[in-house]
Amino acid sequence: MPQFQGSGFALTLPEECYDASAYTFALPEYNGFAPNLSIRFETVPAGTDIQQYADAALASLSGQFDGFELIDKLSGKRGEWDGVMATVAWGEGAARMLQKLFYMLVCRKQCRVYILTTTDLLANAKQSAPVFDQMLRSFAPNEIQFIWGKAD
């Protein structure tokens, strides 16, 4: 049975279990909001087009938030992996939020899209953006503590 080591805990899992983790890391609160980075992933079929995936995800987001604005979107490679980086804003007034969404397609034994999302108040972005940019640049998929499950 696989052993999973989390942040401050360990867990023994059945063989058919697979990792569907989501992570959130928060920076110190500033102006009443704790800026954060969330990381999650979705298993996708081989041959998934990351540009189409990101476009569909952004279209879905645009319908969920008042005042949604796509500020910019760039496609490119990070090492061997294809990715899309988008910056969006939503909300109104002092509660207007700024998010960077980084979609990275990683195909190994199976294909996954990693979705990294930074979130902060637009008013705080000048302070948090350099920290978030450093965190996003440091993201590196690996196979350490990787639980595939029997179905793969």
Establish how many alpha carbons lie within 13 A of residue 6's alpha carbon, considering only the half-sphere containing its beta carbon. 12
- Local confidence band at 13 (pLDDT 50, 70, 90 cut-offs): confident
* This prediction's pTM: 0.88
The overall average pLDDT reported for the chain is 91
Residues 137-148: tens digit of each pLDDT: 999 988 766 655
Give me the pLDDT at residue 71, please.
98
Per DSSP, which regions of the chain are E strands? 3-5, 10-12, 23-26, 36-44, 69-78, 81-90, 97-107, 111-121
Domain range annotation of the chain:
18-138
pLDDT value of position 148: 54
User: 16 pLDDT exceeds 70?
Assistant: yes
- Could you tell me what percent of the chain has a pLDDT over 90? 75
pLDDT tier, 21 (very low <50, low <70, confident <90, very high otherwise): confident
What would the pLDDT profile of 55-90 be if each residue is shown by its tens digit? 999 999 999 999 999 999 999 999 899 999 999 999
**How confident is the model at residue 22, as a pLDDT?**
92
Burial of 38 (0-12, 13-18, 19+ CB in 10 A): middle
CATH topology of domain 18-138: Protein Transport Mog1p; Chain A (3.40.1000)
